[in-house]
Amino acid sequence: MKVYDGSQAEDTQETDPERIKVGIAEYEVTADGAELTTSGLGSCVGVALYDEANAVAGLIHVMLPEAEDMDGEKPAKFADSGTELLVEEMEQLGARSRQMQAKIAGGSDMLDFSEGGASIGDRNVKEVRETLSEYGIPIVGEDVGGDHGRSLRLEAQNGDLVVKSANRENQRL
């Protein structure tokens, strides 16, 4: 009879990548292949950036479109300043914006308080697109819009973004 002694689990843990949680209005960057995760994306947008040549990845969970007139707020809270911050932090780890690729998810129309205008989700997606365009970073995968929430896992070893949604198949972007 074989007795479980836990040694196999320890070996597995050593080879599994570290998993780092990214909260709302937060970001993380990695150059060591960690998995970056975030959840609770409704109208919020997750922006995943990956520079394959320099093995640097980053993920941000933005809430609102623009930081304009929001003195003292966290820059990671906003699509414009947060995306800029993510690019800059990745560059600090050796990434180059001209080599980065983006994948985005979220921007759902969960609750519409826009009174006939664009929803917060739509405005978040638009601002992320514009900011990435300013840096010349192409969006190579996306899962945006709709009326459902999402959770994300960025596999920094290969740049894959796994999108989980309720009542839908997982997507690998």
Each domain of the chain, given as residue ranges in start order, spans 15-172
Helix, strand, coil percentages in the chain from 3-state DSSP, rounded to 5 = 25, 30, 40
Report pLDDT digits (tens) over 7-55: 444 444 557 889 999 999 999 999 999 999 999 999 999 999 999 999 9
Provide mean pLDDT across the span 108-127.
79
How far apart, in whole angstroms, are the C-alpha atoms of residue 95 and residue 135? Answer: 13
| Residues in contact with 156: Cβ distance below 8 Å, sequence separation at least 6, in sequence order | 17, 30, 32, 33, 34, 35, 36, 50, 57
Report pLDDT digits (tens) over 87-100: 999 999 999 999 99
Give the pLDDT confidence score for residue 114 in this predicted structure: 53
Alpha-helical (H) ranges within the chain are: 7-15, 79-92, 120-135
Report pLDDT digits (tens) over 43-94: 999 999 999 999 999 999 999 999 886 666 799 999 999 999 999 999 999 9
Provide mean pLDDT across the span 115-139.
91
15-172: what fold?
Answer: 60s Ribosomal Protein L30; Chain: A; (3.30.1330)
**pLDDT band for position 106 (cuts 50, 70, 90):** very high
Which residue bears the tokens 């001209």? 98
Give the pLDDT confidence score for residue 166 in this predicted structure: 80
